[in-house]
A and B are shown apart, each in its own frame.
Chain A
């Protein structure tokens, strides 16, 4: 912990100093202008749509768990709250624009998040982690039990509304992609700014040393609840994207405990307390089963059915988590940094 480090040859630049915006900007430009040049419907619907929704959820969870240090096992519940709230605002409030429905849905998720975040004021560590499971089960139960939430639809599965923003309808795989992308970019920029403000520093201070934070004047209780609120807002909106732009139906079963774990795994594989890690992790988690399925079919033929695929995927994801925790606890983001540094050291121009 307090081991003295060998001074690096160049001043070890902190993340904040060097201008960090050109690279993300390039990525955003590529996402808007580059990807549509070659993307197929399959890429949009089966890969990019879940990738964007899960990335956003992971950005949200990272604020709570990575930055503020409060472990949550109930992320999928807040996605569900967001999805159902947006659906009901859209259904029940005449003339409410879709974007407003989404913002209100985020606020509802936020409020639910604060309620389930209250135990964090007294509980820590495992006790808190277990208590967030209460959110998971309670929300899932509520949404299945009270059919008002699904507008008394007998199957509990309801069609998502069209993505209409001020009269323009985002249709088709490409349209839905642009919609998701825009929401994700907006909230990610927000999150990236947030973690560099005093509020963001307060999150990390509470995570790293709660007592010292309190004595230094960080409003600890307020900071924790704020982390729950902001995180749940973002995760709630991710739930809207998941339901409206990816599945195009709203159903409670997709927001189960496995989904919560999946989002937790994404931020661990991607790298805790990094924004870009959420995207790296989500990419891996989304692409992994597809690669596994291709590879399995190629190697084992028809023996590799969907059951076997499910199981091998489970094993692989679990093993990946363990490997990352042991070998690269700071996740893909740190791995990326190391590779970049090595490349830079090798290239003579720099």
Chain B
């Protein structure tokens, strides 16, 4: 089917309007660090219930994009609409209440807390009791704590973390920590889940398991998902639509099949020879 149009506003808009409500809409988002442009004029749409992958070589700006959406970085230009609310700069402290949760490329767990406590912290935004109520353990503090505990336990079970529930996260293998991060994100029941390389550094078996969890995040926890992943095979299998970034620009956007056939994508991956994300992996 040849080239995919890069005029996404038109393309994505038409398509998603036909399908579902838009949960995330980026328009012209640009971010630079001291003169070096990390992402440039990005448009991106995520429809409700969609798994939306972002791929691209290292340094293409994928993580920066997630950091902008989750309010870690402030973009220089452009708008970010979460549901119907439009931001020039997403406030990081309100992200959780806006229904966004995320994981990190390099783990960002709380090392001094156990798995359960890390997951429970994902509910922090829902807590309204004061510390005094919590210490005494009465009324709404008790209800909130019980609710937090029950939901955390449920997510821990769902992600097969029960056996390490009471371990300090720092003592766990890398792959398990990645899962704990997903659990911490899921427990807040996000509308939009941002996953920054959730399978990096995992074995094939772990990747498969994680892929199952990503699907479950959408199908059982009703989250729309933005997924950054290097393993093209995993991405092709999981995603509904894929956006491809190169040097901070979006060079393609469409269904896995369309993107796979796109000449510019092939060039970006093969022509520039970024050695650690070769597209042949997709045949695996």
Contact = CB atoms under 8 A, between A and B. Distances in A.
- Residues of B in contact with A, size category: 35 or more
Contacts of B92: 211, 214-215
- Residues of A in contact with B, size category: 35 or more
B188 interface: yes
A209 B101 CA distance: 15
A204 to B, nearest CB: 5
A198 B113 CA distance: 12
A17 interface: yes
A12 B171 contact: yes
A220 B92 CA distance: 10
B110 to A, nearest CB: 4
A300 B102 CA distance: 65
Contacts of B126: 217
B72 A211 contact: yes
A217 B101 CA distance: 9
B5 to A, nearest CB: 34
Given A202-B121, A217-B125, A273 B110 contact: no
B63 interface: no
A207 interface: yes
B93 A205 contact: no
B96 A215 contact: yes
Contacts of A194: 131, 134-135
Interface stretch (B172-180, B212-220, B244-252, B260-268): B172-180
Contact of B166 (A14, A201, A205, A209): A14
B96 A209 contact: no
Contacts of B121: 198, 201-202, 205, 213, 216, 218
A216 B117 contact: no
Interface string A193-213: 110011101101101110111
B135 A197 contact: yes
A215 B102 contact: yes
Interface string B101-131: 1101001111111101100111111110101
Contact of B112 (A5, A17, A204): A204
Contacts of B101: 215-216
A2 interface: yes
A171 to B, nearest CB: 32
Given A207-B112, A211-B72, A216-B184, A12 B135 contact: no
A194 B107 CA distance: 27
A216 B188 contact: yes
A95 interface: no
B78 interface: no
Interface string A268-303: 000001000000000000000000000000000000
> 6 smallest A-B Cβ distances: which pairs?
A217-B125, A217-B96, A212-B108, A197-B134, A14-B166, A208-B110
Interface of B: 70-72, 92-93, 95-97, 101-102, 104, 107-114, 116-117, 120-127, 129, 131, 134-135, 137, 141, 144-145, 148, 163, 166-168, 170-174, 177, 184, 188
24 contacts: A1-B170, A2-B107, A2-B170, A5-B171, A11-B166, A14-B114, A16-B166, A17-B166, A198-B123, A198-B148, A201-B120, A201-B124, A202-B121, A204-B117, A205-B113, A205-B121, A205-B124, A208-B111, A212-B104, A213-B124, A214-B92, A214-B95, A215-B71, A216-B188
Given A12-B171, A198-B148, A221-B93, 16 more contacts: A12-B167, A14-B166, A197-B141, A201-B117, A204-B112, A205-B110, A208-B112, A209-B110, A211-B108, A212-B104, A213-B124, A217-B122, A217-B126, A218-B124, A219-B93, A230-B131
